[in-house]
Amino acid sequence: MGRVQSVVARANQKLTVQFAASLLAGATFVSMLFGFLRERLLNSYYYGTYPEGLDAYTAAFTVPDFMFFILVSGALSVTFIPVFNQRLAGGNKRSAWEISTSLMNLMAVATLITSVLIIIFAEPLMRYIIAPGLSESGMALAVSMMRVIAINPFLFAIATVIASIQQALGRFTFYALAPIIYNIGIIIGIVFFTNGINIFGWQIFEGGIMGVALGVVLGSMMQLLVSCVGLIGLGFDYRFKIFWRNKGFRKVLQLLPARSLDQGMDYLVGIVETNLASRMAAGTVRAYNQATVLHLAPINLIGVAISTAAFPKMTERLSEGRLDLFRSELQTVLRIIIWLALPVAVITYFTRGYLVNFINPGGDPLMAGLLGALTVAILFRSIYYIAARSFYAQQDTKTPFYISIFSIGLNIFLAVWFTVRLQMGPYGLAWAQSIMAMVEVIILFAVMNARIDKLFDRMFWNAIWRMASATGFMAIVAYLMVSLFPLQAGDNSSFYFTFPKFVLIVATSFGSYIIFSKMLRLHEVAPFEKIVQRISRRSRPDNEKLV
């Protein structure tokens, strides 16, 4: 036992900001790879043979995920950690542990009640709100799956509070491992549980796609277990009690509603999209979900990662009263995000067939078409995160919230109009998402520009024009590369055959973008130049280095 604690203690040491950022980025990438493997396995097993089952599986997550975002995610992403750290910094460790144990107990009770209610009302929720367009067999399967997955909010709530404690204390190792473990649990369900569960000769589960739902629960339990291991050595003082009189706990509860409502409204769009997609052909719910998953990957790696890293510095500039430095910082970060997101969106458009083929063996024209329509959203959703954080840095959460209300309303209106009135099918959902993303960013920066004089000066727009020009030249290269290395059907569509071609297309296209950016004197290319120079120096023979 002592040896286990020693290993955990070494793995759970406090990390520097730079090392923690690298660890989280690497873990996010690994988790993303497992996520793609999970989707590839699911699609290869069921998309071509049982699309109705995958629609039911996708729809089953809607309510449990929505309740988790409403009750838990919003509370802990913004409200808990600052209050907890404030108590620790003041030397009041007892109050800090009271806040954490109170929040854990409250969230556990709230989500447990919610899970029970989901189990009870799964059938009417699915039939009248989430996916009324499913067939009777698909409806029955979706209801059964939702009842199995209903335990997720409870398990996630406890794991998320624990993960937030670890983040607040600067311990990121087990926090980074948790989502990877979750995906591994689902993969176990896909590979093993779908074939049935047999223990000592007793067949306790017949198998089928319901085994995937059991894998989801297994992944949630494994994630909670890993999170709990990460508490070893932190001195967490848990008590089965809610300290209602703790001022810090009450502060968290005061901050909770607005943030939770904002999170819930974002997820409301997903419910509407699932409702509309369920009325279309079998497999549409899954196809749109998969296109959304693919378009979110670059958004998370570019928009979320860069804006999260830049946020503390922007806040520091304002606390110093240096609005000029805040403006400069915002312009710099915005330019970097646009410089990266523009080519990634274009490359995603041209290689959409390859990307879909990676998660759905053999590809799928509908998924590829939907991903193509969502490439506009890749650019603007990447920009959105730094746009919203520019308001948060000014301690203004209301303005983004009001703009979000308008944007979500517009998204829902356009989704219904495009799919019902204009009969655009699932493409209407994708275009509504892209238009909303563009409009929301324009409004956010229009308001910010009114607050900060000369935020978008001539120099900024000149740089954006040069980025667009470099992207245009790169688009020609990307088009030619895809024409030279087209995605082929049959055995030649296997991962091992297509991945090298995909890497060649992406490397050549992005390499040309760097060259065009250099020719157009965009200083965002400087970090890549330094990397190339460093690699070239290391690759030189020793005798050349001595000359």
Strand-pairing partners, residue 205, are: 197
Beta bridge partners of 197: 205
Contact status, residue 343 vs residue 509, Cβ threshold 8 Å: yes
The low-confidence residues of the chain, meaning pLDDT below 70, are 1-22, 24-25, 73-79, 82, 196-206, 255, 258-259, 262-263, 308-309, 312, 319, 395, 489-493, 529-547
- Amino acid 348: pLDDT: 97
What tens digit of pLDDT does each residue of 492-517 get?
Answer: 567 788 889 999 999 999 999 999 99
Residue type, 5: Q
User: What is the reported pLDDT for 547?
Assistant: 40
- What are the tens digits of pLDDT across the range 149-166? 999 999 998 998 888 788
| pLDDT computed for residue 536 by the predictor | 56
Is the distance from CB of 418 to CB of 429 less than 8 angstroms?
yes
DSSP string, 63-81: HHHHHHIIIIIHIIIIIIH
User: What six digits make up the tokens of 310?
Assistant: 């830049």
C-alpha to C-alpha distances, 481 to 3, 363, 472, 487, 499, nearest whole angstrom = 55, 19, 14, 11, 14
Report CA-CA distances (Å) from 426 to 102, 272, 278, 413: 44, 12, 10, 14
Task: Name the β-bridge partners of 199.
Answer: 202
* 3-class secondary-structure state, position 9: helix
Total Cβ atoms within 10 A of residue 351: 24
Q: What is the DSSP letter of 171?
A: -
